[in-house]
A = this chain, B = another copy of it.
Amino acid sequence: MTEYSQYRPLPVGEVPHWDFETDVAVIGFGATGACAAIEAAQAGARVMLFERSSGSGGASALSGGEIYVGGGTDAQKAAGFDDTVEAFTKYLKLAGGPCADEAKCEIYGREALNHYQWLKDQGVPYRGNFLPGKHIEPTDDSTLIWSGSEAAAPFCHEAKPAPRGHVIQHMGWGGGRPLVDILEARARALGTEIHIDARAVALIVDGTRVCGAVVRIDNQDRFVRADKGVVLATGGFVFNDAMRAKYCPDTFKVNSPIGDKDDGVGIELGVSVGGDAIHMDQFFTTCPWTMPESHAYGVFVNVHGQRFINEDCYHGRVSRCALDQPGGKVYLLLDVANFVQPLDLAGITIAGTGETWEEVEAELEMPQGTLSATMAFYNEHARDGRDPLFDKQLPILKPLDQSPFIALELNFETSYFSFFTLGGLKTTTDGEVLDRSGKAIAGLFAAGRCTSGLPAWGHGYSSGLSLADCTFFGRRAGRKAALA
């Protein structure tokens, strides 16, 4: 029996027969794949979608259903935020840091309001209101939350801040599942033929053009002809230890991957036909240290008792910077006015307490004059409303001076540091997969976390960036494939 491989495309001449024939074959049924299918179908293409699991979902369905949108949405306006395309685009570029794809930031900056309307048109409900404060996901059914580092330095000095995390109306956490359900229903209504338990194992090529895929269904290899193109929408590689070791070994510091069979197969399929995988060392990580919300007022120190970040940044940025610190752990310092027992699920433990910061320092076995000096300096300036070192902003900036004091330990190994990968195929803003010389590979498209997109840089991640990227560029990839 022929062994097909994600590492080597099958020449069309060796295809024994066609089991399926379509215009556009979409691989993967998270939000990216669903959006690609919708647009491809609406552009008049016959669309088949192949998903290795037994239903839709992917990492999207495990998310909060939050999409990063700015430039002046109804919810932003209703809450009194005067966001602009310029500020929004600028923030997208800052969030991409040294890995930013300027063209993707610019087109999404310009088109996000239309994309938000499109989401509504698909049936995604938004209550339209703003929920103030620091939230990982809304605990009620609110629409708009702060979901990044917009109001924190250095971002706030370069791009006028506004909240941009737009969340599907859904009571409590987990809005990703209903979001995917709505997109799935829409894809089905438009005639997408969906095959579940169907795992892509190889691409099929006619010369250098991708013209189909080999898909494994019921332990049989099935040959899919895709006359217009294949759209890869398979997610990242967080569940592929070999790929992590080769491209992103820092992820082994932490232990809670987020994803659903995200084994990097789309990246491998893309590279097998000459695709270029970029920024493969980048990853998102977070530990839910802002829950309860009062912990957002805490101060982080590393094992040397030094601060390392303005703690008003997005929880994920703080967590990613934490992971850069030595010693395998960091401490979140709180006073009794802000301390609440941490969530069990977070694996955040109490490492030390004291009537003074000196006592906490001693309990943590830090040298005298380290943590205590850090906190004396911090409190002195916080009382004046200033953070001369890290430029933490009011109102998150406030002194921690009501004893007793508490040091919580965020341990990279034992606390809940969730993570997923951000590196992947290099694509155009139309989802065309680029080869290493920068040319589009005919017949091959990709979007979402098997590509490097809006959430390109782990240190700049903001909630909703990945789903924004998945849905917006998923749509564009599907449409471009249909019109190929």
Instruction: For chain A, residues 270 to 303, give those with C-beta under 8 angstroms from any C-beta of chain B.
Output: 271-272, 274, 276, 278-281
**Is B246's CB under 8 angstroms from A7's CB?**
no
Nearest opposing residue in chain B for A253, CB measure = B98
Nearest opposing residue in chain B for A457, CB measure = B249
**Is B389's CB under 8 angstroms from A278's CB?**
no
User: Is residue A360 contacting chain B, with contact meaning CB distance below 8 A?
Assistant: no
Which stretch (A130-138, A160-168, A171-179, A365-373) binds chain B? A365-373
**Is B99's CB under 8 angstroms from A249's CB?**
yes
Nearest opposing residue in chain B for A388, CB measure = B367
User: Is residue A220 contacting chain B, with contact meaning CB distance below 8 A?
Assistant: no
Nearest opposing residue in chain B for A373, CB measure = B373
From the candidates B5, B377, B436, name the one contacting A7 in the complex (CB within 8 A).
B436
User: Is residue A381 contacting chain B, with contact meaning CB distance below 8 A?
Assistant: yes
**Is A436's CB under 8 angstroms from B388's CB?**
no
Chain A 436-469 interface mask (CB, 8 Å, partner B; 1/0): 1110000000000000000000000000000000
From the candidates B5, B246, B252, name the one contacting A278 in the complex (CB within 8 A).
B246
Knowing A246-B278, A276-B246, the reply to whether A252 touches B98 (Cβ < 8 A) is yes
Which residues on the B side are within 8 Å of A99 (C-beta)? 249
Nearest opposing residue in chain B for A264, CB measure = B436
Give the distance to chain B from A323, nearest Cβ to Cβ, in Å.
12
**Is B304's CB under 8 angstroms from A246's CB?**
no
Interface range on chain A (Cβ under 8 Å from partner): 35 or more
Which residues on the B side are within 8 Å of A379 (C-beta)? none
From the candidates B8, B242, B307, B437, name the one contacting A5 in the complex (CB within 8 A).
B437
- Cα–Cα distance between A247 and B388 once the two chains are bound (Å): 34
User: Is residue A4 contacting chain B, with contact meaning CB distance below 8 A?
Assistant: no
Which residues on the B side are within 8 Å of A438 (C-beta)? 242
**Is B5's CB under 8 angstroms from A390's CB?**
no
Which residues on the B side are within 8 Å of A268 (C-beta)? 436
Give the distance to chain B from A457, nearest Cβ to Cβ, in Å.
9
Which residues on the B side are within 8 Å of A307 (C-beta)? 304
Knowing A98-B249, A246-B278, the reply to whether A7 touches B367 (Cβ < 8 A) is no
Which residues on the B side are within 8 Å of A272 (C-beta)? 436
**Is B436's CB under 8 angstroms from A250's CB?**
no
**Is A98's CB under 8 angstroms from B250's CB?**
yes
Nearest opposing residue in chain B for A437, CB measure = B7
User: Is residue A413 contacting chain B, with contact meaning CB distance below 8 A?
Assistant: no
Chain A 1-41 interface mask (CB, 8 Å, partner B; 1/0): 00001011000000000000000000000000000000000
- Cα–Cα distance between A249 and B98 once the two chains are bound (Å): 6
User: Is residue A356 contacting chain B, with contact meaning CB distance below 8 A?
Assistant: no
User: Is residue A158 contacting chain B, with contact meaning CB distance below 8 A?
Assistant: no
Which residues on the B side are within 8 Å of A388 (C-beta)? 367, 370
- Cα–Cα distance between A216 and B112 once the two chains are bound (Å): 48
Give the distance to chain B from A379, nearest Cβ to Cβ, in Å.
12
User: Is residue A42 contacting chain B, with contact meaning CB distance below 8 A?
Assistant: no
- Cα–Cα distance between A389 and B377 once the two chains are bound (Å): 18
From the candidates B247, B250, B252, B304, name the one contacting A390 in the complex (CB within 8 A).
B304
Give the distance to chain B from A303, nearest Cβ to Cβ, in Å.
9
- Cα–Cα distance between A272 and B246 once the two chains are bound (Å): 18
- Cα–Cα distance between A309 and B441 once the two chains are bound (Å): 46
Which residues on the B side are within 8 Å of A401 (C-beta)? none
Which residues on the B side are within 8 Å of A276 (C-beta)? 246
User: Is residue A106 contacting chain B, with contact meaning CB distance below 8 A?
Assistant: no
- Cα–Cα distance between A437 and B202 once the two chains are bound (Å): 13
Which residues on the B side are within 8 Å of A193 (C-beta)? none
User: Is residue A355 contacting chain B, with contact meaning CB distance below 8 A?
Assistant: no
Query: Can you give 21 contacting A-B residue pairs, CB < 8 Å?
Result: A7-B274, A7-B437, A246-B276, A246-B279, A246-B426, A247-B279, A268-B436, A280-B281, A281-B281, A304-B389, A305-B389, A367-B377, A367-B381, A367-B389, A369-B373, A369-B377, A370-B377, A370-B388, A370-B389, A373-B373, A373-B377
A residues with CB within 8 A of B: 5, 7-8, 98-99, 242, 246-247, 249-250, 252, 268, 271-272, 274, 276, 278-281, 304-307, 324, 367, 369-370, 373, 377, 381, 388-390, 426, 435-438
